[in-house]
A and B are shown apart, each in its own frame.
Chain A
Amino acid sequence: MSKLITQRTAGDAFVGPAVETRGLVKHYKSRDGVVEAVRGVDLRVEAGEIFGFLGPNGAGKSTTVRMLTTLLSITSGTARVADVDVAREPDVARMRMGVALQEAGLDPRQTGRELLVLQCRLFGMGSDDAASRAQQLLELVDLVEAADRRIKGYSGGMKRRLDLASALVHEPQVLFLDEPTTGLDPASRLVVWEEVRRINGHGTTVFLTTQYLEEADQLCDRIAIIDGGLIVREGTPAQLKSDLQSRLGLDDEPSLDDVFLDATGRTRERVAGVVREVGA
């Protein structure tokens, strides 16, 4: 394991925050006019953190992550990852970040080993180094036995673990995980959590989006909640709960669910009403 994700040293540390955005904006043109998906996001994620990025569907989570990971152009504002401006030096930024997006993006016709070797080659490794690194990563995510089978035969959990491994080929300084456990069974989810903790334990900053508040509560040092393209809450889970408790004068400590509902202007009754309406 120690070879897989080497402990970060002062030599490869960067100055400043792991992720920093200022006035980040994304507008899309659509038939109905301009859609303001992200409307001025300011974020600061310190090196070594597990940072949770939460929000309801369509709030701007994935759009923000796609801008940070160079997959989407930025309408205005700036974004830096590991001290690199992602718009000005996208290739340098890509070398410093690992990306595992929603719905594990894998090629079903390749084997797990082939996919990892290819990913290593794309990050500049020679064929021998790539084969060796792929083997290490397969061991890390416990896919050695399935390594030479086509990915189309993998279960959802195996695909997610392979996707995670593919994001680690170059030992990134910042790892972006966009809803890494969506659609997984509880056991597979725990495995992914364990991997995320392990990766972070070796000094990699993790930027995680999720819809599961329990996941954020379990994993994240700090969280931010985005709604309507704007950050509406930011802090540690404990801080956010405490703030809500004192603001509403609650006797019991609220859950992160309560914080989320309060931050996004939703109530349990409204959500339940929506569910009933859909169910009817």
Chain B
Amino acid sequence: MSYTWVLGRRALREALRTPEALLPTLFIPMFFLVVNLGQAGKIFPSSSTGFLDGQNYAAFQLPSSMLLAASFGTAALFLVEDIEGGYFDKLRSSPVPRTPLVLGRLVAELVKGLGIAVVLVLLALPFGIHVASGFVGFLLLIALTALWAVVYVGFMQLIALKTRSAAATNSGGLIFFPLLFLTPNFVPRHMLTRPMEIAATFNPVTYVMEALRSLILQDLVWGRVLAGFGVVGALGVVMVLLNLRMIRHYD
């Protein structure tokens, strides 16, 4: 664990020293929150829209913004820079077990994800949003967002390690957008058309989004929350195992 933390701290330092890569992870999700609220806020007034549970439409949209913020995967692009610049080989030539070489960045992403999620919630407060599930719910909201960031960067690290190409890694990261739009992004799942509802049901991001949404709009609904954590946990295990396999066979 100490090697993982040493490498994780280095990855965090790298992120903090690249504000031009960090700031868009806050700005773009907030931009979408404002735009989506502006476009659909009047269609769904809180007084007559049951699925908002008394809050405004910004509260319904905040999970999308949080997931988007957690799905930039810039850590994987930094990994490609390490590979292309030769620094990754320097790390590989040290007697560190191979596992921390990939886990270090994932740990850094978890810490970064926690910070970004907290800042996003704070930025969302002026829109009249509050976390209905209380302080425990707030902690779960932040944790689930950060864990999703780990899953997503784990996926992008796989592309980075396989292709060793910034262009391919960047393009691979765009897969999030179709996944995001195949969720109950604008309305609850039961209000989607039948084909979209089926697609959303098979989309794992749906369960993460619904868990985040329930934490913001409702008291603790454990079924929803556990489904979100279950999806993130299962995908997280798969991503970590695939990353470990990839680094052990990296040539």
Contacts and interface: CB of A to CB of B under 8 A. Distances in A.
Max chain B C-beta neighbours (<10 A), residue from A101, A104, A121? A121
B48 interface: no
B134 interface: no
Given A107-B14, A110-B13, A119 B85 contact: no
A210 B95 CA distance: 26
Interface of A: 69-73, 91-92, 94-95, 97, 99, 101-110, 114, 118-119, 121-124, 150, 163, 166
Contacts of B94: 94, 119, 122-123
Contacts of B89: 71, 99, 101, 105
Top 7 closest pairs, chain A to chain B, by CB: A105-B86, A122-B94, A94-B95, A99-B93, A105-B90, A91-B95, A105-B87
Nearest to A119: B94
A142 to B, nearest CB: 21
B6 A121 contact: yes
Given A99-B93, A101-B86, A106-B87, 20 more contacts: A71-B93, A72-B251, A73-B251, A92-B95, A94-B93, A94-B94, A97-B93, A101-B90, A105-B90, A107-B10, A107-B82, A107-B87, A109-B13, A109-B14, A109-B17, A114-B13, A119-B94, A122-B96, A123-B95, A124-B95
Interface residues of B, number: 23
B93 A104 contact: no
Interface string B140-161: 0000000000000000000000
B153 to A, nearest CB: 18
B43 interface: no
Interface in B39-96: 82, 85-96
B91 to A, nearest CB: 7
Contact of B86 (A92, A103, A110, A122): A103
Max chain A C-beta neighbours (<10 A), residue from B14, B90, B251? B90
17 contacts: A71-B92, A92-B95, A94-B94, A104-B86, A105-B88, A106-B86, A106-B90, A107-B14, A109-B18, A110-B10, A118-B6, A118-B7, A122-B7, A122-B94, A122-B95, A122-B96, A123-B95
Interface string B1-21: 001001100100110011000
Nearest to B94: A122
Given A72-B251, A108-B85, A109-B17, A118 B10 contact: yes
Max chain A C-beta neighbours (<10 A), residue from B14, B17, B94? B94
B195 interface: no
Contacts of B6: 118, 121-122
